[in-house]
A and B are shown apart, each in its own frame.
Chain A
C-alpha cells in the first residue's frame, strides 16, 4: 500500500516537516501525530515541505485544518512549500491557497515567517 513518512528539521526557529510518499485517509493520522508532537514541544512556526510528497487526498488536507487554528492562536502559523504541481492542484481546487501561505520554495516560506502577520494570519479570525 501507500507509504508515508515525516522527518523534522529546524531552521531559524522554524520547525520544518519534510513529507515523503502518499498522504491519504490511512496515513493522515501519522501527519496528525507529527504536527501534534511539534506543537506540544512548543513549536508554533511550522513549515510543511512537500517536495517529496507524491500524492494527497482530501482526508490528508483535513489534517492541516485540524491544527492551524490552535497554532495561529498561539501566535504561530503553518506554511506550506515546495509542492509538486499535481499535489498543488489538489490544494488549489479546495481553495487552500486562500487559507494557507503556500510558497514555491522553502526559502521563500522561511522568509515569510520573518514578516509580521501576513494576510493568511488575519484570514482565520
Chain B
C-alpha cells in the first residue's frame, strides 16, 4: 500500500487522519473551544450521539487532565494533550476494518505489528454514559479506544454510535519511534524552522503543572463550579419559546457548555488534592445530573431528532 510511507511529524499524522476520515465521509470538525477532559465531551459526540439523526464527524480535541501534569519531564504524561475523535451513527458494520485502515494510513504496517482488541468497557460517570468496546493495542501499547455507545446522558442510544478515540501523542510517538514526547518533531524536521513538541509545549506543561497542583485557588474553583451548575440549571429552566422571536428555542448547547465548565472545575479541584474519595462521588453525581438534563433538552431539539410530529 502506497500510503504506508512513514509520516515525519506529529502534525503529519494528524493531517493523515483528517484526510483518511474525510475520505470515509466524515465531517471534519474543529476542536471545541472549551476546556474538556476528553474528546467525548465535544458536543459533536456527547449530544450528537443522542436521537435518531445520522451523524459522522471526526476532529482533533485538545484535552486537559490536570492530575497527569509532570512539568514536561515525564516521557509520556501531559496535562494537556490531543485526542483524535471519530463518531459515526449508526455504527457501520465494517467499523473495525475502517479503523484498521486508519492505522495503515498513518504508516503502521499490519504485517509487522501485533494489533489486538482488548476488552475495555467505557463508562463516563460524569456524562451518565456507557458503552462496550475495546482498547486497541499495537505491540502492547494502547493506541485507541473503540466504543459502541449504549447510553449517553441517561438515554438509550438508538441507533448506536461507534466512537473511536486516538491518544495522538502516544500514537505518534509510537509511529515516529520517539521515546520522549518532548523530542517528537511537531512539524517536518526538514522545515526551515523545525519545531519539536517540546518547543511548542514544554513551557506550558511546566506552568500548568505548577498552577494545577499548587497554585489554583480552590475557593475560586469551587465557586466557579457552583456558578456553572446554577447557570446550567437556569438556562434549562427557561421557557422553550423565546419571547423575543416567538420561536421554539431549547438552549441545550449553552447549558451543556456550563456542564463542561463544571466538569473541568471538578478536575482542577481534584488535581489540587482537596477532594476525597467519597466527595468525589458527590461531585461526579452533580455533573452527571447536569449532563442528563442537557441530554434531556437536546432530544427536544431538531438536531436531537425532535419534530412537531413526534412531539404531537
Chains A and B belong together in one complex: no
